[in-house]
Amino acid sequence: MSKEMEFTDQNFDQEVINSQVPVLVDFWAPWCGPCQMMGPIIIELAEAMGEKAKVGKINVDENGKVSSAYGIMSIPALKIFKGGVVVKEFIGVQSIDVLKKALEELA
Protein backbone atom coordinates (compact mmCIF):
# COMPACT_ATOMS: atom_id res chain seq x y z
CA MET A 1 0.00 0.00 0.00
CA SER A 2 2.12 2.79 -1.28
CA LYS A 3 -0.51 5.47 -0.87
CA GLU A 4 -2.89 6.35 1.88
CA MET A 5 -6.33 4.80 1.67
CA GLU A 6 -9.64 6.60 1.85
CA PHE A 7 -11.98 5.02 4.36
CA THR A 8 -15.76 5.60 4.26
CA ASP A 9 -18.87 4.49 6.10
CA GLN A 10 -19.29 1.95 3.28
CA ASN A 11 -15.80 0.34 3.29
CA PHE A 12 -14.81 0.78 6.96
CA ASP A 13 -15.73 -2.73 8.14
CA GLN A 14 -14.02 -4.39 5.19
CA GLU A 15 -10.85 -2.26 5.17
CA VAL A 16 -10.38 -1.55 8.90
CA ILE A 17 -12.36 -3.89 11.15
CA ASN A 18 -11.64 -7.03 9.08
CA SER A 19 -8.03 -6.13 8.22
CA GLN A 20 -5.33 -8.75 8.77
CA VAL A 21 -2.74 -6.00 9.43
CA PRO A 22 -2.82 -2.99 11.80
CA VAL A 23 -4.69 0.04 10.43
CA LEU A 24 -4.09 3.71 11.25
CA VAL A 25 -7.20 5.82 10.63
CA ASP A 26 -6.91 9.61 10.48
CA PHE A 27 -10.30 11.19 11.26
CA TRP A 28 -10.14 14.57 9.51
CA ALA A 29 -12.05 17.33 7.68
CA PRO A 30 -10.98 19.64 4.82
CA TRP A 31 -11.66 22.81 6.84
CA CYS A 32 -9.40 21.73 9.74
CA GLY A 33 -5.96 23.41 9.68
CA PRO A 34 -4.16 20.82 11.84
CA CYS A 35 -5.74 18.09 9.69
CA GLN A 36 -4.15 19.68 6.62
CA MET A 37 -0.78 19.55 8.42
CA MET A 38 -1.27 15.80 8.96
CA GLY A 39 -1.93 15.15 5.26
CA PRO A 40 1.71 14.86 4.09
CA ILE A 41 2.62 12.88 7.22
CA ILE A 42 -0.13 10.34 6.49
CA ILE A 43 1.07 9.95 2.88
CA GLU A 44 4.69 9.51 3.98
CA LEU A 45 3.66 7.02 6.67
CA ALA A 46 1.61 4.97 4.18
CA GLU A 47 4.63 4.73 1.91
CA ALA A 48 6.99 3.88 4.79
CA MET A 49 4.77 1.09 6.15
CA GLY A 50 4.17 -0.61 2.80
CA GLU A 51 2.34 -3.92 3.24
CA LYS A 52 2.95 -4.08 7.03
CA ALA A 53 0.00 -1.81 7.82
CA LYS A 54 -2.85 0.13 6.23
CA VAL A 55 -2.80 3.90 6.62
CA GLY A 56 -5.70 6.09 5.60
CA LYS A 57 -8.11 8.92 6.24
CA ILE A 58 -11.82 9.25 6.82
CA ASN A 59 -13.60 12.56 6.29
CA VAL A 60 -15.78 13.12 9.37
CA ASP A 61 -18.14 15.47 7.49
CA GLU A 62 -18.94 12.85 4.85
CA ASN A 63 -18.87 9.74 7.07
CA GLY A 64 -20.92 10.51 10.16
CA LYS A 65 -21.78 6.88 10.97
CA VAL A 66 -18.19 5.81 11.67
CA SER A 67 -17.26 9.15 13.26
CA SER A 68 -20.20 8.90 15.67
CA ALA A 69 -19.51 5.25 16.44
CA TYR A 70 -16.01 6.16 17.64
CA GLY A 71 -17.05 9.33 19.48
CA ILE A 72 -14.92 11.70 17.43
CA MET A 73 -15.09 15.12 19.13
CA SER A 74 -11.75 16.67 18.14
CA ILE A 75 -9.82 16.33 14.91
CA PRO A 76 -7.37 15.28 13.78
CA ALA A 77 -8.03 12.10 15.73
CA LEU A 78 -5.82 9.15 14.90
CA LYS A 79 -6.79 5.65 15.92
CA ILE A 80 -4.84 2.45 15.36
CA PHE A 81 -6.93 -0.68 14.96
CA LYS A 82 -5.71 -4.24 15.32
CA GLY A 83 -8.01 -7.22 15.16
CA GLY A 84 -10.98 -4.89 14.67
CA VAL A 85 -10.49 -2.92 17.89
CA VAL A 86 -8.83 0.40 18.74
CA VAL A 87 -5.49 -0.30 20.42
CA LYS A 88 -3.92 3.19 20.34
CA GLU A 89 -5.28 6.71 20.01
CA PHE A 90 -3.78 10.13 19.35
CA ILE A 91 -5.40 13.58 19.23
CA GLY A 92 -3.86 16.44 17.28
CA VAL A 93 -0.87 16.62 14.96
CA GLN A 94 1.63 13.80 15.50
CA SER A 95 5.08 13.23 14.06
CA ILE A 96 5.69 10.44 11.58
CA ASP A 97 8.19 8.91 14.04
CA VAL A 98 5.56 8.55 16.79
CA LEU A 99 3.01 7.01 14.43
CA LYS A 100 5.50 4.73 12.68
CA LYS A 101 6.80 3.41 16.02
CA ALA A 102 3.23 2.72 17.21
CA LEU A 103 2.40 0.80 14.03
CA GLU A 104 5.68 -1.14 13.98
CA GLU A 105 5.07 -2.33 17.54
CA LEU A 106 1.81 -3.91 16.33
CA ALA A 107 2.88 -5.21 12.91
pLDDT per position as a tens digit, 42-85: 999 999 999 999 999 999 999 999 999 999 999 999 999 999 99
The answer to whether residue 103 sits within a structural domain is: no
The answer to whether residue 80 sits within a structural domain is: yes
> Is residue 51 within 8 Å of residue 107, measured between CB atoms?
no
Segment holding 101, helix H or strand E: helix 96-106
Domain range spanning residue 63?
A: 5-97
The answer to whether residue 74 sits within a structural domain is: yes
The answer to whether residue 104 sits within a structural domain is: no
Active site residues: 32, 35
What is the rounded average pLDDT for all residues in the chain?
A: 95
pLDDT at 3 over 80: no
Asked whether the CA dihedral 25, 31, 33, 36 is positive or negative, the reply is positive
pLDDT at 2 over 80: no
Helices (H) then strands (E): counts for the chain = 4, 5
The answer to whether residue 50 sits within a structural domain is: yes
User: Can you list the positions of beta strands (E) in 1-107?
Assistant: 5-6, 23-28, 54-59, 77-82, 85-91
Domain with residue 17: its CATH number is 3.40.30.10
The answer to whether residue 106 sits within a structural domain is: no
The answer to whether residue 23 sits within a structural domain is: yes
> Is residue 24 within 8 Å of residue 99, measured between CB atoms?
yes
Q: Is 16 left (phi over 0), alpha (psi -120 to 50) or beta?
A: alpha
Domain count, the chain: 1
Q: What pLDDT is recorded for position 1?
A: 42
